[in-house]
């Protein structure tokens, strides 16, 4: 790309701040310690029977990778990319369930790994689809579960942490594709124009 000479440089365009990265809810150290504890519980549960780990992309990528390091080396792993979020609100519509490979699922014990349990609609739909595909048994392990007043349609067997009912990012969780790479999990909010004017300091 051809660049303009520095003599005519008028400065970089300003990038508006449209979000607020909040406090750390769960540090990297706390997350890793809990993952080891979860792996011990999972190994005991599947001690005498083989199982297949099904990671739900994209949010569970880091969680699955770290969990697998503490599970038996022969553990089978598959991934399924679903889409049920747009921005900070759940859409209630799930794309990707049609991609489940029945040949890999049939007659197997399936452990579904996900990053967060919010409305429960995604996991409920996944469970139904896996049983239709011929799975022998389906269990769920989520890193995060939001505290809700209402009854959720599904209850995971393993939960890493319960968190407040707010939007979070980091350790695989994103906002419009950003912030997945944060090592810790942070609270997060979007800002209106008036809120942006009050915010100071550089973008993270």
Domains of the chain: 28-84+95-163 (3.40.50.2020)
> Using one digit for the tens of pLDDT, what is the confidence trace for 8-46?
545 434 434 578 888 999 999 999 999 999 999 999 999
Is this prediction's pTM over 0.95?
Answer: no
Residue 172 burial (C-beta neighbours within 10 Å; 0-12, 13-18, 19+) = buried
Instruction: Map 90-101 to HEC letters.
Output: EEEEEECHHHCC
Q: Which helix (H) or strand (E) holds 55?
A: strand 52-57
Instruction: Give the model's pLDDT for residue 21.
Output: 87
Q: Which residues are catalytic?
A: 118
| pLDDT score, position 116 | 94
Phi and psi at residue 121, to the nearest 5°: -65, -40
pLDDT for the residue numbered 10: 52
pLDDT over threshold 90, residue 185:
yes
Alpha-carbon span 81 to 61, nearest angstrom: 10
Q: How many CB atoms lie within 10 A of CB 87?
A: 10
For the chain, what is the mean pLDDT? 84
Q: How many CB atoms lie within 10 A of CB 12?
A: 6
Give alpha helix (H) positions in the chain: 28-45, 61-68, 102-105, 121-132, 193-198
Residue 152: asked if its preceding bond is cis (omega within 30°), the reply is no
Q: 102-153, pLDDT tens digit by residue?
A: 999 999 999 999 999 988 888 999 999 999 999 999 999 999 999 987 888 8
Per-residue confidence band for 203, with pLDDT thresholds at 50, 70 and 90: very low
169 C-beta neighbours (distance < 10 Å), count? 22
User: Sign of the C-alpha dihedral, residues 69, 44, 162, 81?
Assistant: positive
Q: Is the pLDDT of residue 167 over 60?
A: yes
What is the mean predicted confidence (pLDDT) over 165-186?
Answer: 93
Confidence check: pLDDT of 101 > 80: yes
> Which among 61, 67, 56, 156 has a CA at the least distance from the CA of 99?
56
Using CB atoms within 10 Å of the CB of residue 40, give its burial: 0 to 12 exposed, 13 to 18 middle, 19+ buried.
Answer: exposed
């Amino acid at each position: 790309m051809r660049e303009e000479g520095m003599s005519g440089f008028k400065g970089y365009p300003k990038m508006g701040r449209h979000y607020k990265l909040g406090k750390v809810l769960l540090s990297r150290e706390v997350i890793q310690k809990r993952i080891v504890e979860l792996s011990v519980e999972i190994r005991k549960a599947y001690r005498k029977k083989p199982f297949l780990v099904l990671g739900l992309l994209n949010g569970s990528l880091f969680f699955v990778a770290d969990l697998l390091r503490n599970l038996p080396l022969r553990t089978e792993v598959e991934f399924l990319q679903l889409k049920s979020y747009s921005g900070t609100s759940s859409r209630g519509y799930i794309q990707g369930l049609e991609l489940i490979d029945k040949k890999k699922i049939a007659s197997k014990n399936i452990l579904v790994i996900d990053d967060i349990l919010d409305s429960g609609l995604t996991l409920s739909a996944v469970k139904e689809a896996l049983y239709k595909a011929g799975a022998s048994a389906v269990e769920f392990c989520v890193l995060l579960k939001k505290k809700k007043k209402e009854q959720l349609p599904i209850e995971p067997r393993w939960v890493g942490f319960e968190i407040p009912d707010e939007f979070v990012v980091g350790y695989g969780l994103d906002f419009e594709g950003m912030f997945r790479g944060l090592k810790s999990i942070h609270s997060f909010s979007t800002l209106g124009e008036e809120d942006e004017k009050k915010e100071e300091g550089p973008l993270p």
